């Protein structure tokens, strides 16, 4: 392990094992193909059109927002 470098990501504030691609992370979370999902990487919105090309780095912060019903 490299000293000082965490091999984790922060997903919605929770430590998760590092994955190199955003698309892999979203697949692991089961959000691929769902409508209305919004993703932010280090406080910047990532459009769905570039999820496949987005590379993650250890220590990145990802927020995944999904719609939910209620009333």
Q: How far apart are CA 54 and CA 45, in angstroms?
A: 12
Domain extents in the chain: 8-65
Residue 71 has pLDDT above 80, yes or no: no
Element holding 24 (H helix, E strand): helix 22-29
Specify whether the CB–CB gap between 18 and 11 falls below 8 A.
Answer: no
Classify residue 24 by burial, with Cβ atoms within 10 Å: 0-12, 13-18, 19+.
Answer: middle
* Stated pTM of the model: 0.84
Residues 6 or more apart whose CB falls under 8 angstroms from that of 32 comprise 23, 26
Q: What is the pLDDT of residues 13-66, one digit of tens each?
A: 999 999 999 999 999 999 998 889 999 999 999 999 999 999 999 999 999 998
User: May I ask the CATH architecture of the domain 8-65?
Assistant: Roll (3.10)
């Amino acid at each position: 392990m490299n000293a000082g470098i965490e091999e984790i990501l922060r997903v919605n504030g929770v430590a998760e094992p590092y994955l190199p691609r955003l698309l892999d992370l979203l697949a692991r979370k089961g959000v691929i193909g769902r409508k209305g999902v919004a993703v932010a990487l280090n406080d910047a919105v990532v459009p769905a059109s570039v999820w496949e090309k987005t590379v993650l780095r250890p220590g990145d912060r990802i927020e995944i927002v999904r719609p939910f019903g209620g009333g």
